[in-house]
């Protein structure tokens, strides 16, 4: 269930979905719970394993979506073959949810998402550093991606200081969009 809390304290209902949201790995990382398992238990008529009061939150998690898209061209989807794909090593701090492999084709018929990259650490500054390392470890060849854009975003002072709103990209355009040569240099 999604709600909005306005600055003046007004509370608004937004929507209800009977499915997990794409950001559910963030919740899983900070709670240590498997929400997909919980959903299946409920579907089979079982009770939830914990009450709300029993759910604990530890640390900070960040999720980015790695896309075959061109941020410098209004984020238009990119198509092509994943001729090279090396993802960061998954561990207790780094999670990669993906459905593609090297040599797969990204076509116009499906969502161009390559993966969701989720990191966890003890606090936000450490999670940011872990995300930057994970993005730096990501290697994709054969088509345009948003990896450089994501790195630029996570590196910005406004993002690091949690000064985030729905106008973030427009407000910080000069920080987020860099010359194409920077992406090439980073890959090399």
Q: Are 142 and 80 in contact (CB under 8 A)?
A: yes
pLDDT digits (tens, 9 = 90+) for 49-94: 999 999 999 999 999 999 999 999 999 999 999 999 999 999 999 9
pLDDT of residue 179: 57
**C-alpha torsion sign, points 177, 179, 184, 188:** negative
pLDDT of residue 123: 98
Q: Which of 166, 144, 168, 146 is nearest to 156 (CA)?
A: 168
Q: Helix or strand or coil: residue 48? A: coil
Residues 161-188, mean pLDDT to the nearest whole number = 76
pLDDT > 80? residue 180 = no
Assign 188 a pLDDT band (cuts: 50, 70, 90): low
Residues 39-50, mean pLDDT to the nearest whole number = 94
Share of the chain above pLDDT 70, in %: 94
pLDDT of residue 152: 94
More confident residue, 21 or 38: 38
pLDDT > 80? residue 7 = yes
Count Cβ neighbours within 10 Å for each residue of 4-32 and write b for 16 or more, e otherwise. Answer: eeeeeeeeeeeeeeeeeeeebbbbbbbbe
Residues 142-150, mean pLDDT to the nearest whole number = 95
pLDDT of residue 131: 98
pLDDT of residue 1: 80
Active site residues: 19
pLDDT of residue 181: 43
pLDDT of residue 178: 64
pLDDT > 80? residue 19 = no
Residues 149-166, mean pLDDT to the nearest whole number = 94
How would you classify residue 9: left for phi > 0, otherwise alpha for psi between -120 and 50, otherwise beta?
A: left
Residues 180-185, mean pLDDT to the nearest whole number = 49
Q: What is the mean pLDDT of the chain?
A: 91
Residues 142-151, mean pLDDT to the nearest whole number = 95
Q: What angle do CA 122, 126, 130 make, to 5 degrees?
A: 110
């Amino acid at each position: 269930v999604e709600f909005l809390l306005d600055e003046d304290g007004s509370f608004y209902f937004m929507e209800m979905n009977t499915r997990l949201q794409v950001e559910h790995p963030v919740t899983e990382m900070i709670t240590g719970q498997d929400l997909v398992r919980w959903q299946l238990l409920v579907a089979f008529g079982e009770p939830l394993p914990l009450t709300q009061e029993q759910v604990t939150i530890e640390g900070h998690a960040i999720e980015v979506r790695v896309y075959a898209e061109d941020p410098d061209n209004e984020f238009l989807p990119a198509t092509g073959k994943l001729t090279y794909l090396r993802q960061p090593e998954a561990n207790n701090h780094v999670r990669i949810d993906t459905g593609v492999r090297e040599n797969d084709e990204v076509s116009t018929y499906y969502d161009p998402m390559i993966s969701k990259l989720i990191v966890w650490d003890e606090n936000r500054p450490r999670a940011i550093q872990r995300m930057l390392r994970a993005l730096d470890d990501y290697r994709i060849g054969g088509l345009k991606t948003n990896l450089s854009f994501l790195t630029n975003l996570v590196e910005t002072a406004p993002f690091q200081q949690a000064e985030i709103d729905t106008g973030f990209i427009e407000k910080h355009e000069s920080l987020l969009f860099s010359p194409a040569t920077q992406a090439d240099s980073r890959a090399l």
